[in-house]
Chain A
Amino acid sequence: MRLEPIEAPGVARRVLPPALAIVATFVVAAVLAMIAGGDPLRVFGEIVKGAVGSKFALLETLNRATPLIFTGLAVAVAFRAKLWNIGAEAQLYAGAVVTVVLGTGALTLPAPVLLPLIGVAAALAGALVLLVPAILKTRFGVDEVVTTLLFNFIFLLFVSYLLEGPLKDPMGMGWPKSPRLIDEARLPRIVEGLRLHWGFALALIAAVAVWVIQTRTTLGFEMRAVGQNAEAARFAGMPVMSVILKTALLSGGLAALAGFSEVSGLKGSLTLDLSPGYGYTGIVVAMLALLHPLGVVVAALFVAAIFVGADSMSRAVGVPTYLADIMLATALLLMVLAILLTKFRVRRD
């Protein structure tokens, strides 16, 4: 068996494999649901109902998608330039820590001034967190997969220390939890009375902004060129190292905005369970989106819907929520395979 590249794939060749991947994902999930004792159709029905079946469910899905859009964009931007940022989790927490430091009364300014200030500061913190591995990569050739991945654990332990020490809420009954943000530092809700906050709108704006940067600016042109072929980019006179560093700043900043948005828009304070792995799920989101910034929005909504839907399905049917993780993992693996099949055909000789 071997793979033969297809020079100019037709429409069927480009659409069919990804469609089959999604179908196959649901088949796998159906089998597992049956093994777990549920009726597959009912399981899927409950997931859909739980994700988009009511106004509450829909808003919950949008809220859940918000951090995933940010981390998905962070990963997509970096991967596009072949900067393998596995550290969105640490960058997210860096943004969250800065939000808490500046938003719990250290600065007292009116909200229209304070919120942008905190947002920018949070993004800068995330950018700096990724800048260090990026410099190590460009200067000394240190593999950023290792450094960014391992830095996640270091930073999470650092946050744990902060929550037990300097940032611990004195009124928190001893729980490792930060004080609550002041009202001026909270992202307001988009519509009064509904649980959806402005972080979601910010995420959509970020996605469009990234898309514009990638397609319309010289920096975007350079980032794509460096990612596709750094040797040719260097030969053409592009400043490859500086492009990688700028990419790191953008990627880290986007991931940090996820932390800012979660603390300021949703939770109001920082705990160690702020992110159930949004940084890692961002990789799944970005891959499902084929690294396209607008695709990230769609993929994040899809992933959020499955998670939110699975929660409520689990309550209704009794099939464990792990089904959601399995569905995502299956979808990702099959999607990677499907993308391969859009570009190559399998030969059996």
Chain B
Amino acid sequence: MEGAGPAQPVLRLTDITKHFGPVVANDGVSFDLHRGEVIALLGENGAGKTTLMNILFGQYTADAGYVELFGERLPPGRPRAALDAGVGMVHQHFTLAGNLTVWENIVLGVDGLTAPSLRPAKAKARIRDLSERFHLKVDPEVRVGSLTVGERQRVEILKALYRDAKILILDEPTAVLTPQETDALFATLRQAVAQGLSVVFISHKLHEVLAIASRVVVLRHGRLVAERETKGATREELAALMVGAEVTAPSFEPTVPGPVLLSLKNVTTTGEGRATGLRDVSLDLRAGQITGLAGVSGNGQGALSDLIAGLDSPASGEMWLAGALPRHWSPRTAIAEGIARIPEDRHHTGTIADFNLVENAVLETYRTTYSTGGWMNWTDARRFAGDLIDKYDVRCPSRNIRIRLLSGGNMQKLILGRVLEGEPRIILANQPVRGLDIGAVNYVHGQLAEARARGAAVLLISEDLDEIQRLSDVIHVISEGRLSPAFARGTMKPEELGAWMAGHGFKETTHAA
């Protein structure tokens, strides 16, 4: 195989170093990948995983160090070199054309659809053969637009295999999958490895890393800090390696739930601008309780979040707030009603990137609190921003810098401070820890725990089932805009929730109801 002997690594990185101005993204990173091996590349956001992969694929050129594939050095800065040498990458965000069929998508980058040499029948036969060999069930004739996320991922993997990839790189592949789909993916990967492929699995979900990888390479601040077998390793150890310190997650003692603060009764929305609206959703948010919303992304989480945030109104059904029907539902009303909103996209919805910390701190309250008669009161606003920075531990050189210069975690802390300072009664937390490092994750979760203890009603929307199960007193699953019944803490296994996430169970309940 490509002249790579059993002892020789298929991929070897040697002393890869990359600077971006004063920032060191990769600092002397070296590791080997052997034939038939799965290694996990573990690290927090900003640890340098993506930069490393971009160097491998020639998107960046390393300042120092080099990449060897099957014993040969890769010319730097040539994106096709790694592809041609047999490295396939499956990105977190898929690169498929929805209006083409599966086989067309797979062939697209290889032969081109208009090439005279193209033999559709042969290509399809090859795809069928590959999908059988690797347990990647998908029909080549179906249009990609009609596939589920899990199926699309299979197409991406098939695409790489069709190009004779010997090395598969998967960037956060399970972020969009249900537990069942994740299991299927792992089965495929095991099959691939058994047939001599090698896999680099990039993730920060520790239980998955332990389940699939035989070796784990940990990056921290651009440096390789640990490389070890997964056999015998625990999640706590890996987390500590990743963060560089012992990590203690906040705990959630049982509480007695209070009255219903927000109640949806048979709400349907058009889901304006979203793929999925809500379909006949009824939901109660109670004081002193965290309600978790599990589901595969794009199943109506956005629509529910928009509704509670004030961006959308029910097309039918009713939304009750503390026993009253609010009129003129808008973001401003939502804020006035004491709803703290932590948006899904902190960069584009939650903050204004080129505004400084002071301006972002008063974005929601400038009218009510930080102005008189139309004149801004910047002295008070500056003091408020300073207080937030101290109290919520926002690490920043100054409150006068543009917020785009902050890390995601610090940005989220400012948003958190901004909404929690108003002592909100209801908290809408949409993916509050996505992309944050473990320290920031625990901080955000701790703040939600405190708000819960204070008597706030929290709605936690997340695609991370682990997070949902750890935090929530009550769990609902959303699928295609429909909401499952409420499940109390600890009553459901992940697989059971996964079945709901995949859309099973909804028909029966409608019949029963």
Question: Residues of A with Cβ closer than 8 Å to B?
Answer: 4, 6-8, 216-221, 224-225, 228-229, 231-237, 239, 349
Contact = CB atoms under 8 A, between A and B. Distances in A.
Contacts of B355: 224-225, 228
Interface in B374-409: 374-376, 378, 405
B349 interface: yes
Contact of B350 (A232, A239, A349): A232
B380 to A, nearest CB: 13
Secondary structure at the B interface, as helix, strand, loop or mixed, is loop
B349 A218 contact: no
A232 B363 contact: yes
B496 interface: no
Nearest to B331: A237
B450 interface: no
Nearest to A240: B331
Given A225-B363, A236-B364, A237-B364, A216 B352 contact: no
A2 to B, nearest CB: 9
Taking each of B350, B352, B355, which has the highest tally of chain A beta carbons within 10 Å of its own beta carbon? B352
B341 A221 contact: no
Given A218-B367, A236-B363, 8 more contacts: A6-B21, A216-B376, A217-B371, A225-B352, A229-B353, A232-B350, A237-B310, A349-B60
A221 B359 CA distance: 8
Nearest to B367: A218
B374 A219 contact: yes
22 contacts: A216-B376, A219-B374, A220-B376, A224-B355, A225-B355, A225-B363, A228-B352, A228-B354, A229-B352, A231-B349, A232-B348, A232-B350, A232-B351, A232-B352, A232-B363, A235-B311, A235-B349, A236-B363, A237-B330, A237-B332, A237-B334, A237-B364
A218 B363 contact: no
B61 interface: yes
Nearest to A225: B352
B77 interface: yes
Contacts of A7: 21, 405
B343 interface: yes
B21 A234 contact: no
Contacts of A228: 352-355
Secondary structure at the A interface, as helix, strand, loop or mixed, is helix
B506 interface: no
Taking each of A7, A225, A232, A234, which has the highest tally of chain B beta carbons within 10 Å of its own beta carbon? A232
B487 interface: no
Interface of B: 20-21, 60-61, 76-77, 309-311, 330-332, 334-335, 341, 343, 348-355, 359, 363-364, 366-367, 371, 374-376, 378, 405
B354 A218 contact: no
A237 B328 CA distance: 12
Contacts of A231: 348-349
Nearest to A219: B374
Nearest to A212: B375
Given A232-B351, A232-B363, A349-B77, A237 B335 contact: yes
A224 B362 CA distance: 14
A6 to B, nearest CB: 7
Nearest to A224: B355
Contacts of B349: 231-232, 235
Contacts of B374: 217-219
B354 to A, nearest CB: 5
Nearest to A235: B349
A231 B311 CA distance: 10
B20 to A, nearest CB: 8
Contacts, number: 69
Given A221-B359, A231-B348, A232-B351, A8 B405 contact: yes
Contacts of B76: 349
Contacts of B335: 237
Given A228-B355, A229-B353, A236 B376 contact: no
B375 A217 contact: yes
A216 B421 CA distance: 24
Contact of A218 (B351, B364, B376): B376
B366 A221 contact: yes
Contacts of A219: 374
A237 B310 CA distance: 9
Contacts of A349: 60-61, 76-77
Contacts of B60: 349
A232 B363 CA distance: 9
Contact of A229 (B20, B310, B348, B366): B348
Contacts of A4: 20
Contact of B331 (A6, A217, A236): A236
Contact of B311 (A216, A217, A224, A234): A234
A6 B447 CA distance: 33
Nearest to A226: B352
A259 B405 CA distance: 43
A229 B350 CA distance: 10
B229 to A, nearest CB: 36
Contacts of B367: 218, 237
B370 to A, nearest CB: 9
A235 B343 contact: yes
A221 B376 contact: yes
A219 B60 CA distance: 44
Contact of B376 (A6, A217, A233, A235): A217
Contacts of A229: 348, 352-353
B18 to A, nearest CB: 12
Taking each of B76, B332, B405, which has the highest tally of chain A beta carbons within 10 Å of its own beta carbon? B332
Contacts of B334: 237
Contact of A216 (B21, B351, B375): B375
Given A218-B374, A349-B61, A235 B353 contact: no
B4 to A, nearest CB: 28
Contacts of B330: 237
Given A217-B375, A218-B375, A234 B331 contact: yes
B400 to A, nearest CB: 13
A232 B20 CA distance: 29
A225 B378 CA distance: 16
Nearest to B309: A235
Contacts of B310: 237
A242 to B, nearest CB: 12
A232 B353 CA distance: 10
Contacts of B354: 228
Contacts of B376: 216-218, 220-221
A249 to B, nearest CB: 15
A219 B366 CA distance: 10
A7 B25 CA distance: 14
Nearest to A4: B20
A236 to B, nearest CB: 4
Nearest to B354: A228
B366 A218 contact: yes
A236 B419 CA distance: 11
A237 B336 CA distance: 10
Nearest to B333: A237
Contacts of A236: 331, 363-364
A68 B318 CA distance: 54
Contacts of B375: 216-218
A216 B372 CA distance: 11
B451 to A, nearest CB: 20
